[in-house]
Structure 1
């Protein structure tokens, strides 16, 4: 955690050991990507620093960020769709949340965009191959909310096609059950 340049030690990194990984039961590598979420239990907690900070979760569907709200996605994914290499330095893209139907229209009939997904981007910047698993974070009232996890999108990484993210709100109960179950086992 806290890494910026994957090939340089900057002193901001926290190397933490993983105790357990929980993968959602519905997950498969199929095209629909339903259940594209996992939780990682660390052996020790991360330290809050300038480079590593927690984000809030939205707990109910009524709190969704509306289309047009500008959020941020980060990752080391490709910036050039014709090159397979990932980036050395963490990149951030500002991406607007999109209307669900508008997003579905970009991918139909090849792919389905389910309600358990949120779309963002398609307006000049986007997530790309190699960014999967990274955050979609939105700011509201001086707080950052982890809204999505980079899941999939157009394989050519075109900036005018939106990225599709796992909507965390759809998995709040699953996450709570895992955390409660795990606490009972400790």
Structure 2
């Protein structure tokens, strides 16, 4: 029965509230990072805190909703690289895309990395983290099978490294340091026989 209720379409006023919350949250996260005040987001959206939490029970669920479309585009890039490039090139090109994406999403890497400390309100198979891990995992698997990437590398480790780069370079004026750090990660992931 709860599943049916969850799938029921929102009333028009609830849908408008949800959209205002998402728009306001996107602006707030762009300026203040993923730690932006939820109460301030609710106030600016013209809704109460309870309304915000009814639509988004946790900060993570709000972040997931705000970044959903961008994550889908990032995963589409993974599929495109897989179709158009050799496995190693596909993986390393997509890691550069992911690095650029993480740099534009202030605080998202930290929030998603540490989000498991709060109750998970969204089904695991729908979350940004899972969708990104699935896309990266397929690219990594193909690169390892082709001999382009070291066999012992795990997708969780790879994503943690890119997330750490985003955290370490988040307040830099340019992206040069993030690119250089990612190149070091790629050199470490690349199989020894693979040319740089």
Shorter-chain TM-score bucket reads under 0.3
Structure number with the higher helix fraction is 2
Q: TM-score, normalised by structure 1?
A: 0.25
Structure number with the higher strand fraction is 1
